[in-house]
Amino acid sequence: MNKLQQELQQAALQRDTRRHFLQTCSTGLGAMALGSILGSCGSLFGRDEKVAASLANADYDPMAAPMDPRLSQFAPKAKRVIYIHMAGSPSQLELFDYKPELMKYNGKDCPQELLTGKKFAFIRGVPKMLGSTANFRQHGQSGAWISDYMPHLQTVADELTFIKSMHTDQFNHAPAQLLMHTGSARLGRPSMGSWVTYGLGSENDNLPGFIVLASGGKQPDAGKSVWGSGFLPTVYQGVQCRTDGDPVLYVSDPNGMPRDIRKQTIEAINQINQQEYEAAKDPEILTRISQYEMAFKMQTSVPDAMAISGEPQYILDAYGVDPKKGSFARNCLLARRLVERGVRFVQLFDWGWDTHGTSKDTSVDIGLQMKCKESDQAVAALINDLKQRGMLDDTLVVWGGEFGRTPMQENRDGQTQSFHGRDHHLDAFTVFMAGGGLKKGLSYGETDPIGYYAVKDKVHIHDLQATILHQMGFDHTKLTYHFQGRPFRLTDVAGKVVKGVIA
Amino acid sequence: MKARWLVMSATGAVVALSSFSLLGGFGEKVDFNTQVKPILNKSCITCHGGVKKASNFSLLFKEEAFAPAKSGHPAIVPGDADKSELIRRLTATDPDERMPLDGPPMKPEDIETLRKWIDQGAEWGDHWAYQTPETPSVPSVGTIWSRMGLTNHPETDWSTNEIDRFVIAKLHTTEAPGGGTLMPATIADKATLLRRVSLDLTGLPPTEAEASAFLHDASPRAYEKLVDRLLASPAFGEKWAGMWLDLARYADTKGYERDPGRSIWRYRDYLIKAFNSDKPYDQFLTEQLAGDLMPQATDEQFIATGFHRNTMNNDEGGTQDEEFRVASVIDRVNTTWDVFQGTTFGCVQCHSHPYDPFRHDEYYKYMAFFNNARDEDVTTDTPTLRFYKGADSAKLVQLRSFVQKTCPDRSRANAEARRVELLARTMEPKINSHDFDQHQNAALLDAKFFGIMDKGTARLKNVTLTGRTRLYLAWGTSAPDAQLTFRLDNPAGRVLATAMAPKTGNQWKDSVQVISLPNVAGRHTLFLSLNSPTKPKDWVMIKWVSFQPALAPQAEATLLSLLNTHPEQTPIMLDGQGDLARKTHVFTRGSWLTPGKEVQPDVPHSLPPMDVDGQKLPRNRLGLAQWMTRPDHPLTARVAVNRFWEQLFGTGLVETVEDMGTQGIQPTHRELLDWLATTFVQEDGWKMKALLKRIVLSSTYRQRSDVTKQLVREDPYNHYFARGPRVRLAAEQVRDQALVVSGLLSRKMYGPSVMPMQPDGIWQSPYSGESWVLAKGEDAHRRALYTYWKRTAPYPSMITFDSPSREFCQIRRLRTNTPLQALVTLNDPVYVEAAQRLADYMAIHGKTPAQQLQAGFHRLMLRELAPKKLAILTKLYQDTEVYYAQNPAEAGKLLASATASPKQAALTVTANAMMNLDEVITKD
């Protein structure tokens, strides 16, 4: 290992606590912040040079420039993540977890042993079993089971890594979404994207390191906490971009204020704030300086990244994007544009997968197929597109909901419903991933013959999180932050890396 | 057993000793609360606690911990660790036996602590926050001579009141950062203090007149006089009402999917008036929880109960009213605990509290206090208080006095008059038509109200008819000749009454009618049937029915005419009696669909009982409020003072304002907290202004907030108060300050919420025809707390600055610092307009650019701009002026005026920059 490498690692180790940040932040950031404003817009340095250049400074402290790129703990397989969250939770039994045995029990009463001691969101009394409403076939050389609800995904089967033995602790949307993204079902913990940005900084000075795009007409049930930074410094929280109007609210300068004047304004603000910092020593001022820099840069880079008008027609067609409308497909394309520009973590939320069967739109046959139709092509296109650009190998794509759905038909209030639906289920669901150094064409883990419990190679939410962090180059037990007297981490006190899925 | 601080003051140093360390012999005595409980909570209680009781062993309650476990033996043998299964299991080598099972072994030092604790007798302790606070003695500072005024001592000189002495004493303890070496900061300069205390007490920067009055007042009491003026300012109530709106989850919409409007702004106005009139906190609490139950409740007291009518209401089609009624009741329980008791009670809904001493059924006993409320998730949001105007108001007065005078039973005259008045004001008691069942040719239309067609039938269970010879009915239809029949006891039973449905145009429009009933005694089930031959498919909709005693005909007519008006209304709490009283059951595993045993209203056993010294409190919300405000209540006053402290300092004495329990962050200054709490009750009589005044007069509050490197290193979060507060302004303050300094702010108070400028496309509720209608005139520039609050799409710049969405109560706002905030204050048209107006002010308050910049900065910060900063802004001004001189059209666009001058444009840009300075959006 050469000396530079060692230095880089030592520097990376220094970032452990905010306290450390506070001790040393006065030494370098001021000059760096001012020196770098706008300077890096023209990419004077590549990122590696910038890391090296910052290390040449003896006083360099990674946390002093919280968004500067940093090395992970070990060589990463994935440099960025696109996390596609199907909010509401799609039915694994209609999509990936093929259970011919379940068909045999279709319409029969659920055995009492599956109900005793269980709590469901809506199922009451004794529900009926519900066989899959979809047709399944195996696809690709890997022979992955993917139902006909997702014809496009079938074509990329050999790129995918399925985990069919996922399980969670929470069966209501908001807490389950929080658990999935923050490692805790309660409010207040940093989200996965925040942890990753905290660990790695941003590769792009002009865009947030962690961007969120939502579709489906609503925000996730758990609200913006699923991309919050919890107790981590707030620079690490996800920034939501809108698909209509200004992509980010107030990103446009006022009428009659040209860019150059805006630039001078922000420079003046930051110079004065720097003086204020020297007097008051409040580290929040330094954060504010970097936020104003970022705001300025976002004003050009966000509209640029979000403008899909430059994309060729064949790309728009591949994703199925109507350039005039916000949609999940458009968000997939935007995700690619964002990771291309160095955004570390792109989080997509698509609302409307909560297929209880209370109406046509929420049935596992008609409604779920509609949601698949809206999204299947774009997900497959995203995977192909990343592959063609040579980015799939080091981009980890994750697709899944916050829990699974029951092999029983939902009987809300004890009554059979007119549409086929499934209740929330925490004991078994499927997540698939692509790229990012995982084994391609793998189906990992199994559920029992009716898909009720994960039985083989079970993977808990914390295990999935540990694995994602591992691919990003982090030991999840060591990516910690000291808060309230103890080190906190994404995986709380649990989590094992799922070695079986790693290439 | 309770730890006590013995304060030794001779040298000014304070040494903390726990009383039992004086016992000697055993060495240090282990304290259950601070040493043992955290270990149990961390390592054991997940499996042996409120959620799970593995092997029938739980460490949550004392009696459980010492009871025989599944093995038949207790796991803890007090006085003998070696005989205790708990210790054996923790140290076992067999992985199947060793605890924590499947986890890493407990740290040896933790095991040692538990061992010692058991050997010392395993004394159980109750968490401090659930014990009635005692007034701690105030530490002395300085020397005995300086305290007598004979010599000077910096600490005696520095401290103003008791708060300061607690703070200094704590700074000197060895546990304090720097091992007790930190010193408090000096008092901030007048301008800083003026801005700080104005923002804190009124939410607004001071007016120029106020600034001038204070800055030129050289008297020693100048600051106190300023504080008194601010406390008396109408803006005071607006600021603190703003804080309370988060707690009350106030919004102008009902929430959930459709999120339609709700008119409940009178509750917001109640808060403003309550704070401004310095309503004592105990009364403030009681009115909000139980105003409707107070004797001869006033309008104001009814409106105050809007606190718990801010729960969400689901108007979505297909949703069950009962489900969301229960959700509201549960939210009221949780919110009451969050807001007034600083305890997360929500988890007790499904099981005993995992960490704190609350049992599962205690949740439902507590819920029983709230379960009788008449609101049932009906789309009309009833019950409401109706505000009759003009002639209708006079009619009501006449009606009341007529009933009072003509009541044959004189002893009941007042009660009868009150009953009729309440019926007119609240349309209660009534039975909502979603209670009808056994529908045939009938249905709940849009899952809201009962509809019935020709040949339709339905049932209404258990109605007491004794003495009730009048049926009030709110109903309507488009069908002519639709006749409704009520039968007694069975579908073919005796006809009680028939009536023709009023043709109101369509069934959704109703008219209130009154039908005479024969004298029937007892409680009966009624059967409805409809005969509607002309338009058999047209719906007849019934919204509610009410069975009432008869009145004199003229009184009945007056009442009916009042009930058929549509005055303004506001949602209130009102309890059901008789047929409408509900039973409360434990919900098995928290689900309302699986009711368990019935429970009666009561408070948890780990807190003082409701009845003491022979004084019995009523088992309703009023009794509950009286219990909460009794001086021996351990939580109410502590939680209140902690909240006010947090508002002023940015962090509470207990940082987790929402949780004082064992899972909360333990207080750094518990003695100060207890002293403030007991003083608040005993000396201040719960007066919030007195409490606030005490805090803001302290030297602790008035310290400089700039910090030294040592302070940043030793106490980054200022837990020990060796400096003053320096925090970013709250969302409301950011906006209000911009409006004040630009002269745009309207001081208009009260009334319906307003819709100031907002980007398009923010409101996206499905099935809702409502839209953002831009406010006109001064309403476009009201204080932020008057901004219309839509739960699913709150005002964006408020959210960006960390306002919660107010779906549920939010006790504490976390402060973030993001680029999106910068974009708001840089580019939001609201802030651009403010910059234009501030530029106007600058133009007339200086001749040279430097003077103008100074004037603008002074308007913002009440002090001079330092030369270096002035130089930076001057350069910005000059460069900008050159640009606009060359590009006059751009200046025109910026100022939206054809005659815009380059100077004015440059001043606007500079003003915009100034309003974005860190010091400007920070309270320092």
Q: How far apart are CA B411 and CA A375, in angstroms?
A: 73
- pLDDT, mean of residues A393-417: 88
Whole-number average pLDDT of chain B:
90
Q: How far apart are the first and last CA of chain A?
A: 24
Report residue A339 as tokens.
Answer: 């990771």
Nearest residue to A198 (alpha-carbon basis) of A239, A237, A241, A240? A237
Judged against a pLDDT cut of 90, whether residue B466 lies above it is answered with yes
Residues facing residue B458 across a β-bridge: B528
SS (H, E, C) A100-133: HHHHHCCCCECCHHHCCCCCCCCECCCCEECCCC
The answer to whether the CB of B285 falls within 8 A of the CB of B629 is yes
Q: Residue A234: pLDDT band by 50, 70, 90 thresholds?
A: low
* % of chain B with per-residue pLDDT over 70: 94
Judged against a pLDDT cut of 50, whether residue A46 lies above it is answered with no
The answer to whether the CB of B850 falls within 8 A of the CB of B751 is no
pLDDT at position A38: 27
Backbone Cα Rg of chain B: 32
Report residue B255 as tokens.
Answer: 């929430």
Residue boundaries of the structural domains of chain B: 31-125, 258-380+582-628, 389-426, 431-549, 827-923
Test the A interface: residue of B915, B918, B921 with most A CBs within 10 Å: B918
C-alpha torsion angle, residues B604, B608, B609, B611 (rounded to 10): -150
- pLDDT, mean of residues A17-36: 29
Residues facing residue B431 across a β-bridge: B545
pLDDT at position B707: 79
pLDDT at position B882: 97
The secondary structure of residue B565, as a DSSP letter, is S
The answer to whether the CB of B357 falls within 8 A of the CB of B126 is yes
pLDDT at position B799: 82
Judged against a pLDDT cut of 50, whether residue B124 lies above it is answered with yes
- pLDDT, mean of residues B360-386: 94
Whole-Å CA distances, B240 to B274, B448, B738: 10, 37, 19
- pLDDT, mean of residues B895-913: 95
Judged against a pLDDT cut of 80, whether residue A29 lies above it is answered with no
Q: In A133-183, which residue ranges form alpha helices assigned H by DSSP? A: 151-155, 173-182
B879 HSE (CA, 13 A, CB side): 18
Q: How far apart are CA B377 and CA B361, in angstroms?
A: 25
| B163: CB partners within 8 A, 6+ apart | B672, B676, B694, B695, B698, B700, B701
To which residue do tokens 């001012």 refer? Answer: A34
Judged against a pLDDT cut of 50, whether residue A14 lies above it is answered with no
Q: How far apart are CA B559 and CA B424, in angstroms?
A: 6
Q: How far apart are CA A254 and CA B300, in angstroms?
A: 45
Q: Which CATH superfamily is domain B431-549 in?
A: Galactose-binding domain-like (2.60.120.260)
The secondary structure of residue B579, as a DSSP letter, is G
Judged against a pLDDT cut of 50, whether residue A47 lies above it is answered with no
Q: How far apart are CA A37 and CA A31, in angstroms?
A: 10
- pLDDT, mean of residues B25-45: 76
Strand A345-351 vs strand A210-215: parallel, antiparallel, or unpaired? parallel
Poorest-pLDDT segment among B23-37, B391-405, B647-661? B23-37
Contacts of A496 in chain B (CB under 8 A): none
C-alpha torsion angle, residues A165, A169, A175, A181 (rounded to 10): -50
The answer to whether the CB of A473 falls within 8 A of the CB of A484 is no
Q: Which of residues 326-365 of A touch B (CB under 8 A)?
A: 358-359
A174 HSE (CA, 13 A, CB side): 9
Report residue B742 as tokens.
Answer: 């630009």
CB spacing of A265 vs B909 below 8 angstroms: yes
pLDDT at position B419: 95
- pLDDT, mean of residues A129-147: 96
SS (H, E, C) B441-469: EEEEECCCEEEEEEEEEEEEEEEECCCCC
Test the B interface: residue of A189, A221, A271, A288 with most B CBs within 10 Å: A288
> pLDDT tens for residues A184-216?
876 668 999 999 999 998 888 788 889 999 988
- pLDDT, mean of residues A110-136: 87
Poorest-pLDDT segment among A287-296, B133-142, B220-229, B350-359? B350-359
CB spacing of A280 vs B868 below 8 angstroms: no
pLDDT at position B351: 65
Q: How far apart are CA B895 and CA B877, in angstroms?
A: 16
Amino acid letter at B804? P
Nearest CA in chain B to A293: B819
Nearest residue to B812 (alpha-carbon basis) of B607, B916, B660? B660
pLDDT at position B319: 59
Q: How far apart are CA A464 and CA A495, in angstroms?
A: 8
Stated as kind and residue range, the H or E segment containing B517 is: none
Nearest residue to A211 (alpha-carbon basis) of A142, A306, A126, A280? A306
Nearest residue to B182 (alpha-carbon basis) of B725, B726, B709, B698? B709
pLDDT greater at residue B799 or residue A454? A454
Instruction: Please work out, in degrees rounded to the nearest 5, the angle formed at the alpha carbon of residue B551 by the alpha carbons of B548 and B553.
Output: 130
pLDDT greater at residue A265 or residue B124? A265
Strand A459-460 vs strand A160-167: parallel, antiparallel, or unpaired? parallel
CB spacing of A250 vs B828 below 8 angstroms: yes
Nearest CA distance, A96 vs chain B (angstrom): 31
The answer to whether the CB of B44 falls within 8 A of the CB of B54 is no
ipTM tops 0.85: yes
Report residue B458 as tokens.
Answer: 């339905």
CB spacing of A283 vs B712 below 8 angstroms: yes
CB spacing of B712 vs A256 below 8 angstroms: no
Does B52 contact A at CB distance below 8 Å? no
Residue boundaries of the structural domains of chain A: 3-71+246-299, 80-244+326-501
Q: How far apart are CA A379 and CA B682, in angstroms?
A: 66
C-alpha torsion angle, residues B265, B267, B269, B271 (rounded to 10): -140
Stated as kind and residue range, the H or E segment containing A210 is: strand A210-215
CB spacing of B589 vs A119 below 8 angstroms: yes
Nearest CA distance, B430 vs chain A (angstrom): 27
Strand ranges (E), B549-680: 568-571, 584-587, 595-599
Range with the largest mean pLDDT of A32-41, B101-110, B482-491, B660-669: B482-491
Stated as kind and residue range, the H or E segment containing A486 is: strand A486-489
Cβ neighbour number for residue A408 with a 10 Å cutoff: 24
Q: Residue A40: pLDDT band by 50, 70, 90 thresholds?
A: very low
Judged against a pLDDT cut of 50, whether residue B4 lies above it is answered with no
CB spacing of A19 vs B716 below 8 angstroms: yes
Nearest CA distance, A63 vs chain B (angstrom): 15
Contacts of B712 in chain A (CB under 8 A): 22-23, 281, 283
Q: How far apart are CA A170 and CA A177, in angstroms?
A: 9
The answer to whether the CB of A18 falls within 8 A of the CB of A481 is yes
| CB nearest to A268's CB, from B706, B728, B873 | B873
Instruction: Tell me the angle at which helices B321-336 and B360-367 cross, rounded to the nearest 10 degrees.
Output: 100
Instruction: Tell me the angle at which helices B234-247 and B222-232 cross, rounded to the nearest 10 degrees.
Output: 60
The secondary structure of residue B536, as a DSSP letter, is T
SS (H, E, C) A289-320: HHHHHHHHHHHHHHHHHHCHHHCCHHHHHHHC
CA A305 to chain centre: 18
pLDDT at position A187: 64
pLDDT at position B864: 93
Judged against a pLDDT cut of 80, whether residue B207 lies above it is answered with yes
The answer to whether the CB of A384 falls within 8 A of the CB of A318 is yes
Nearest residue to B915 (alpha-carbon basis) of B848, B824, B840, B845? B824
Nearest CA distance, A494 vs chain B (angstrom): 9
The answer to whether the CB of B522 falls within 8 A of the CB of B464 is yes
Instruction: Please work out, in degrees rounded to the nearest 5, the angle formed at the alpha carbon of residue B242 by the alpha carbons of B237 and B245.
Output: 120
CB spacing of B918 vs A288 below 8 angstroms: yes
CB spacing of B817 vs A268 below 8 angstroms: no
Residue B432, SS3 per DSSP: strand
Q: Residue B317: pLDDT band by 50, 70, 90 thresholds?
A: low
Judged against a pLDDT cut of 70, whether residue A176 lies above it is answered with yes
| Residue length of chain A | 503
Nearest residue to B806 (alpha-carbon basis) of B242, B292, B271, B316? B242
Is residue B379 packed enough to be buried (19+ CB in 10 Å), middle (13-18) or exposed (0-12)?
A: middle
Contacts of B826 in chain A (CB under 8 A): 250, 253, 262, 265-266, 295
Q: Residue A27: pLDDT band by 50, 70, 90 thresholds?
A: very low
CB spacing of B819 vs A239 below 8 angstroms: yes
Does A252 contact B at CB distance below 8 Å? yes
Report residue B692 as tokens.
Answer: 């606030």
Q: How far apart are CA A355 and CA A367, in angstroms?
A: 7
CATH class of A80-244+326-501: alpha beta
The answer to whether the CB of B651 falls within 8 A of the CB of B665 is no
The answer to whether the CB of B118 falls within 8 A of the CB of B79 is yes
Does B878 contact A at CB distance below 8 Å? no
pLDDT greater at residue B397 or residue A229? B397
What does pTM read for this prediction? 0.81
Range with the largest mean pLDDT of A303-317, B206-220, B292-306, B752-766: B292-306
| Residue length of chain B | 924
Instruction: Tell me the angle at which helices B621-628 and B281-290 cross, rounded to the nearest 10 degrees.
Output: 160
